Structure 1
Amino acid sequence: MAVQPEGTPCWADAMFSDVEGAKSFYGDVLGWTFGESSSEYGNYTQAYVDGHAVAAVVPPMQGQEGQSQWCLYFASPDAAATATRIRENGGEILMEPMQVGEFGTMCLAREPSGAVFGVWQAGVHEGFEAREVPGAYCWAEVFTREPETADPFFTTVFPYTAQQIEDDAVDFRIFNLDENAVLGRMKMTEEFPPEVPSYINVYFAVADCDEAVAKATKLGAVLRFGPMSSPFGRFAALSDPQGANFSVIDVTTTEGDMPRTTDV
């Protein structure tokens, strides 16, 4: 695969106190298999679908044993330059750009409204080896209570253009790269408990949304929303047994017309 254009979601990983439990859960729900853990890199363990790397799980570093959560990484040709733009636009660097062997350079950051994300400057590890097939990454959305803060941040740090969905019921924006939608932004409503911070919700593709939800909840996941059909696919939002939020979507099952959008 070629290195992804700047701002493209290119990788996802999550820290789990119970890594074996996470492997068992996602293996059953998403069909993942797992490589050998790398003790040199904190027992980082990649997940695969049909031999293609799609994500990774890792135990928490000392002092970071909080609730599990998925972290989405955005491609950058220069992680240090991206980190500078993050700071200049009100973001916070949680982990300075750090070279990870020959694999690439990573950086962790928090955007001004609170969502944590990663930056990845590819070396030999270019990111997702599969997308939009069952078990692989498909889409992501920034959930925030402060779109007026998050929106200008993302369009300044990354070369995005933006479109607003014309819908009085939701405040939803789409960020594009070269006319391709790569990221959504949803304003959080009062339905979200006040203690839930802004976060980036990662969607994984599945062959059957209802079947995936049934498997996940049987294994201890909490259904947060759905399953619901939409013009983009049938999807549901879940929290896994260790509290990490994620969504599943069957992009082959669509319903309704695509929403109208306005360039902003």
Structure 2
Amino acid sequence: MTEATRRTPGTPCWVSLMVHGLDEIQMFYGELFGWEFAPGPGQLGPYVRGLLDGKEVAGIGRLPADRQLPIAWTPYLWTDDADATAELVRCSGGTVGVGPLDAADAGRMAIVTDPAGAVFGLWQPASHHGISLHGTHGTPVWHELLTSTTTSVSKFYETVFGYETRTDTSVEPKEGSPLEEEYDHVTLLLDGRAVAALHGVGRTLSRRRGTAWMTYFQVEDTDRSASQVIELGGHVITPPWDGPHGRTATVSDPEGAVFTLVRLRP
């Protein structure tokens, strides 16, 4: 691995989705984002990687028929030692649900939860270094943890990954925003660079999803992509609006996985 491909531990480096209808969901994201697909490691069952211009941007796997787990996009955070980081997750109040285990020659992984119950992955790369294309339609561009209050989990992420934190007092609901009350927002930084955020939304937190990570996918036209989600069998949860990151819309795919479309401000 070269210095050009290595990321600072704690950096979001991959996103993955486990579903029941793998073929149908491939069609959905293929139409919405223009992804093509190639086989990936199958330790957890059938698994494909979404490609744009031949470069890997996300993964989708099939759940066993008897597993009724929540369908959700899961971000993976880079680590140089998945076993050591998994143990630190345990010692800091989180839990380890899967692994650590080897994903063929691609790398070593674990699925963990923070103390508030949000699921995320750990990724120690070998041959697979994560997302290899950025800044275009259909690529993951940002991750935010939606929780009732950031104070409940910020210390956990600081301890496990060494993030610096910045409280963004300037991030406030604006007139016309779908948010119904004030919230707090903490940016997570590595080497002075923003890599993710914690977003406290108070009573507007979804009771069904609870505390969970939200993946933002970059699109060329938020309104058009939101309409396409409906045409492809998904749902629009929050219609397009001009938010802190740009024009955004929160949507779900046909199996209920929630994600956000965003056209970033120039």
Q: Under a length normalisation based on structure 1, what TM-score does the superposition of the two structures give?
A: 0.90
Q: Determine if contact 1:113/1:145 at 8 Å carries over to the other structure.
A: no
Q: What is the CA distance between 1:95 and its match in structure 2?
A: 1.1
Is the counterpart of residue 244 in structure 1 residue 247 in structure 2?
A: no
Equivalent runs, 1:105-254 vs 2, <5 Å: 105-166=108-169, 167=171, 169-251=182-264, 253=265
Equivalent runs, 1:44-63 vs 2, <5 Å: 44-61=47-64, 63=66
The two structures, once aligned, show a CA RMSD in angstroms of 1.7
Greater mean deviation of Cα atoms: 61-70 or 96-105? 61-70
Distance 1:48 1:131 in 2: 12
Distance 1:108 1:30 in 2: 26
Give the secondary-structure state (helix, strand or coil) at the position aligned to 1:35.
strand
Partner of residue 257, structure 1: none
Partner of residue 175, structure 2: none
Q: Determine if contact 2:138/2:218 at 8 Å carries over to the other structure.
A: yes
Distance 1:50 1:215 in 2: 21
Q: What is the CA distance between 1:37 and its match in structure 2?
A: 5.9
Distance 1:170 1:114 in 2: 20
Q: What is the CA distance between 1:21 and its match in structure 2?
A: 1.1
Distance 1:104 1:214 in 2: 37
Question: Is the alpha carbon distance of 1:230 and 1:192 closer, same or farther for their aligned partners in structure 2, counting shifts above 3 Å?
Answer: closer
Q: What is the CA distance between 1:40 and its match in structure 2?
A: 6.4
Question: Is the alpha carbon distance of 1:56 and 1:226 closer, same or farther for their aligned partners in structure 2, counting shifts above 3 Å?
Answer: same
Q: Determine if contact 2:150/2:186 at 8 Å carries over to the other structure.
A: no
Distance 1:84 1:67 in 2: 24
Q: What is the CA distance between 1:232 and its match in structure 2?
A: 2.4
Of 28, 33, 37, the residue aligned with 1:30 is: 33
Question: Is the alpha carbon distance of 1:27 and 1:232 closer, same or farther for their aligned partners in structure 2, counting shifts above 3 Å?
Answer: same
Give the secondary-structure state (helix, strand or coil) at the position aligned to 1:28.
helix
Q: What is the CA distance between 1:200 and its match in structure 2?
A: 0.4
Give the secondary-structure state (helix, strand or coil) at the position aligned to 2:208.
coil
Give the secondary-structure state (helix, strand or coil) at the position aligned to 1:243.
coil
Q: What is the CA distance between 1:149 and its match in structure 2?
A: 2.2
Is the counterpart of residue 2 in structure 1 residue 10 in structure 2?
A: no
Partner of residue 70, structure 1: 73
Distance 1:24 1:137 in 2: 18
Distance 2:57 2:26 in 1: 13
Distance 2:112 2:155 in 1: 16
Greater mean deviation of Cα atoms: 150-159 or 164-173? 164-173
Q: What is the CA distance between 1:195 and its match in structure 2?
A: 3.2
Q: What is the CA distance between 1:70 and its match in structure 2?
A: 0.8
Q: Under a length normalisation based on structure 2, what TM-score does the superposition of the two structures give?
A: 0.90
1:218-245 CA distances to partner (integer Å, 9 max, x unpaired)?
Answer: 2222212231123522111111110101
1:178-226 CA distances to partner (integer Å, 9 max, x unpaired)?
Answer: 1111011111332334233211000111111111101002222221223
1:8-52 CA distances to partner (integer Å, 9 max, x unpaired)?
Answer: 000011011011111111111111111136556621101011111
Q: Determine if contact 2:144/2:215 at 8 Å carries over to the other structure.
A: yes
Q: How many residues align?
A: 253
Q: Determine if contact 1:32/1:135 at 8 Å carries over to the other structure.
A: yes
Of 93, 96, 105, the residue aligned with 2:96 is: 93
Q: What is the CA distance between 1:107 and its match in structure 2?
A: 0.5
Greater mean deviation of Cα atoms: 112-121 or 233-242? 233-242
